Structure 1
Amino acid sequence: MVTGSDLRRLALGLPGTTEHPHFDRAAFKVARTYVTLAPDGLTANFRFTPDEQALKCTVAPDAFIPVPNGWGRQGWTTGTLSGLTEAELAAGLRMAWAHAQPSSRRRQR
């Protein structure tokens, strides 16, 4: 079980990540936002591809669900932090972080 503090620590440990306010949430970004943390620290929205979202929601349906709107159809996925281990959270953050890189860096991968 992880907390919002764990998410903040792990996200800020990824290269180039900065934290910014995003409406009522905390947003973590590199060139673009890759995860937002709810004000209560209980859930976070991750930027996955639709295929990654489908995998996460299939493998861990108690922890991941699509955001219920157009953002969800683009891959944005809500994670319930209490349903994740630190390793699962770190893997999800790294996956989302990879999508937030500047365009030139993503092409190099």
Structure 2
Amino acid sequence: MSASHFRRAALALPGAVEGAHQRTADFRVGKRIFATLGYPDDAWGMVKLTQEQQSMLVESEPKIFRPVPGGWGKQGYTNVLLAKADATTLKSALTMAWKNVAPKATAKRRVTKQP
């Protein structure tokens, strides 16, 4: 998986736009960040999950996911090792993160459009 694939997958979600903070690319919906690229370095991405979602992904795919070090990780922020992630796993994690921050009307439309 590459940073450009992560970017394309994040921007494919409804209403997602790219921004930047602290010299990293971020992906937002409704002005709320759901993912970033390049933290802690270019090998990683980050998705904003619930603690339960984070636990599930870290336990099932420990070579791909890890809690962000420190307090942010305890809040569900989760690093994604890009080189180890496949397209399906990444899309699933990004979609979870997107749903966590998307306005309810936007998220509802997205869910009803999926087969």
TM above 0.5, one fold? Answer: yes
The 1-side partners of 2:33 and 2:14 are apart by: 14
| Number of residue pairs matched by the alignment | 107
Write out aligned runs for 1:1-109 (5 A).
2-31=1-30, 32-38=32-38, 41-102=42-103, 104-105=104-105
Matched letter for residue 70 of structure 1: G
What are the Cα deviations for residues 23-73 of structure 1, in whole angstroms up to 9, with x where unaligned? Answer: 111000002100000075421111000000000000000111101111111
In the alignment, is the contact (CA less than 8 A) between 1:47 and 1:76 conserved in 2? yes
In the alignment, is the contact (CA less than 8 A) between 1:30 and 1:97 conserved in 2? yes
In the alignment, is the contact (CA less than 8 A) between 1:3 and 1:41 conserved in 2? no
The 2-side partners of 1:53 and 1:84 are apart by: 15
Identity of aligned residues (%): 35
The 1-side partners of 2:17 and 2:86 are apart by: 23
| Residue 10 of structure 1: how far off its partner (Å) | 0.8
| Secondary structure at 1:83 match in 2 | coil
**What root-mean-square deviation, in Å, do the aligned CA atoms of Structure 1 and Structure 2 show?**
1.8
The 2-side partners of 1:64 and 1:11 are apart by: 17
Matched letter for residue 26 of structure 2: A
The 1-side partners of 2:7 and 2:106 are apart by: 23
TM-score between both structures, scaled by the size of structure 2: 0.85
